Structure 1
């Protein structure tokens, strides 16, 4: 079976019985004859030869290459050699399909080899995924600065491997992992008091979620943007972000629990008490027993435990002025936390709940009860005193500075402890102080 050749060069090679090896030998010998023995002499690899004879070249090769080809077939210009042969040329035999099939097979093989070379091992991706999961689950026990460094190192490693693969599925997986590290970086930046950077990193997370159509990552990012917003005094923006996050499909019960808790806080900041109470009830709904790949499968910092929910709702109750509910929720958070193994207990949740419990008791003028509630707070290492805890503690300090307590020994002692606790915390030492002032209830 025969087919018309694509180029005059193909016909001439077939006429002269030039396989690639023979063509390459003659091409190199002609180059030496024209230019001498020089490392700069033009060459032609087998894939390039198949492109030349298959009519796949756009334009002409370099002038030296053209010179060699014209010397191999005097009487033909390079332009003629790479053009389709004249139909009435009697000197050139019909192109053999066998050679065409061989050429196609070689090109397909070379293309597959190039793709394989532009991929990475699936084991490498599994290892990176395990590292992201491990960091998310260890986050509660890490200092914010250490967590930030670990997440940034992991982010750079994922980026390095992204540059090494062109396989779509691998690119997709690595982008999701990149989004998860950006999310952890955003949380760490917030915990350190760097609100603008936390917002930028959360938006970066949202971009990865949108690009990969991974709704749980988008929802997590919008939830983070929401609490950065209300901690920056932008309560309406916070509520808008939380509502948008709740509109995404594919979210599990844990994701919705977190977002309802954030929305309830935003309502409380806005003074909409009825909506805040309704949304608190939604956050406590047991849901439909649905899960997603981020909040449940990865979990850790991406999760939202029952004790964390109770702590959050305690803070919301304080913003509503409901000291009784706040005390009940804070107590519940501490009890739930105590039921966990020691290495699973979050110092941040314990300290936050303790601070809320103390403030709720202060609202009832129970200073002794507040002092008792604060006792776990003083044991939190300085490097683990994150923004949420520092803000809650500073609120207690402001309350104790009221004229009502002037001259009283215990309030003065507690106020001094609060000042020292806050002074050595990372958000106070590293973050802009104005960010902490903006969220005073």
Structure 2
């Protein structure tokens, strides 16, 4: 709270002109939030995100901003709006998420930042994917590819992986495999850019790529054994990931994909083992993506009727209890 108050005071003390201290402090705060977002529960970050977005908007609307300062402020406002779009998505509100994402894209446009445009299109693809609109998710991934142009940062890998997941849900095996190969080729040519320099939610590390590839293969459903081995690789990658690469939401996604892959092979005991770490997550970390992934496992579990017993029945009951208390119940 004291740090947030200091940030507001610095901005106001420098007057209507934006000084280097204000811009530097906002940049540092945005970077802190991008690094923290994949690791910390949303309720601990939401107030700071709203505060920084409001500050950048007010400075852009009412401050005397030099052209180069305006470009940086628009970029910072875009990143913050993108994180708030992700926050709305994590709370299960795709409409608000898209509204924030469109604001982020306008900011990226005003900053004339190609990588940020591509990053926002990636975010819109993610929102559409989890909202059950895979064709729209594929379209946004295509728009991102067009916006990327000469972008060589890890956002280009994210776009290919998003395309793979969307086409897998659409049942297009050829497009899915082509997108997975494109992701591998793009990864080999990556040159980290300024968005990667922010870290956290603004970059797309290799464990996350393994998770997306596994999810695409599992949902395509053509090779259950391959889906299981890829999911195991993704889970293992997150268990050994560096602090910079680890994300609780993506690790949970990899674990639910492993559960789905084992279900496809009839390994019910292995399903329970795979999904256990997910069901042990506290309410603060039960975001929309995680609860949706758990519900996919629930839907795939065999049902023996109301009086069913055994591992599958017990697991169905646990998942129902888990998804009944998502993170959104903590946000008012």
TM-score (norm 2): 0.88
Offset of residue 406 of structure 1: 6.5
In 2, Cα distance between equivalents of 1:430 and 1:118: 37
In 2, Cα distance between equivalents of 1:270 and 1:367: 26
Question: 1:407 maps to which residue?
Answer: 308
Q: Is the counterpart of residue 230 in structure 1 residue 129 in structure 2?
A: yes
In 1, Cα distance between equivalents of 2:43 and 2:207: 24
Q: Is the counterpart of residue 132 in structure 1 residue 30 in structure 2?
A: yes
In the TM superposition, what are the counterparts of 1:288-327 in structure 2 within 5 Å?
288-294=189-195, 296-321=196-221, 322-327=223-228
CA contact 2:75–2:111 (8 Å) conserved in 1: yes
Greater relative contact order structure (CA < 8 Å, 6+ sep): 2
| Structure 1 vs Structure 2 CA RMSD | 2.2
Q: Is the counterpart of residue 200 in structure 1 residue 132 in structure 2?
A: no
Label 1:171 to 1:403 Cα distance change in 2 as closer, same or farther (>3 A).
Answer: same
In 1, Cα distance between equivalents of 2:203 and 2:178: 22
Question: 2:5 maps to which residue?
Answer: none
Q: Is the counterpart of residue 394 in structure 1 residue 295 in structure 2?
A: yes
In 2, Cα distance between equivalents of 1:119 and 1:196: 35
Question: 1:87 maps to which residue?
Answer: none
Q: Secondary structure at the match of 2:198?
A: coil
In 2, Cα distance between equivalents of 1:117 and 1:131: 20
Offset of residue 259 of structure 1: 0.3
CA contact 1:145–1:188 (8 Å) conserved in 2: no
Label 1:385 to 1:404 Cα distance change in 2 as closer, same or farther (>3 A).
Answer: same
In 2, Cα distance between equivalents of 1:145 and 1:117: 32
In 1, Cα distance between equivalents of 2:306 and 2:182: 38
In 2, Cα distance between equivalents of 1:118 and 1:150: 22
Which of 1 and 2 has greater Rg? Answer: 1
Higher deviation after alignment, 385-394 or 234-243? 234-243
In the TM superposition, what are the counterparts of 1:32-431 in structure 2 within 5 Å?
118-162=16-60, 163-247=62-146, 248-285=148-185, 286-294=187-195, 296-321=196-221, 322-341=223-242, 345-403=246-304, 407-426=308-327, 429=329
Q: Write the deviation string for residues 179-210 of structure 1: whole angstroms up to 9, x where unpaired.
A: 11000000111111010010111111111111
CA contact 1:405–1:411 (8 Å) conserved in 2: no
Offset of residue 118 of structure 1: 4.5
CA contact 2:303–2:313 (8 Å) conserved in 1: no
Label 1:199 to 1:400 Cα distance change in 2 as closer, same or farther (>3 A).
Answer: same
Q: Secondary structure at the match of 1:251?
A: coil
CA contact 1:251–1:291 (8 Å) conserved in 2: no
Question: 1:26 maps to which residue?
Answer: none
Label 1:343 to 1:385 Cα distance change in 2 as closer, same or farther (>3 A).
Answer: farther
Question: 1:20 maps to which residue?
Answer: none
Q: Write the deviation string for residues 317-347 of structure 1: whole angstroms up to 9, x where unpaired.
A: 1210132222122211221112235686322
TM-score (norm 1): 0.67
Looking at secondary structure, tell me which structure has more helix per residue: 2
CA contact 1:118–1:167 (8 Å) conserved in 2: no
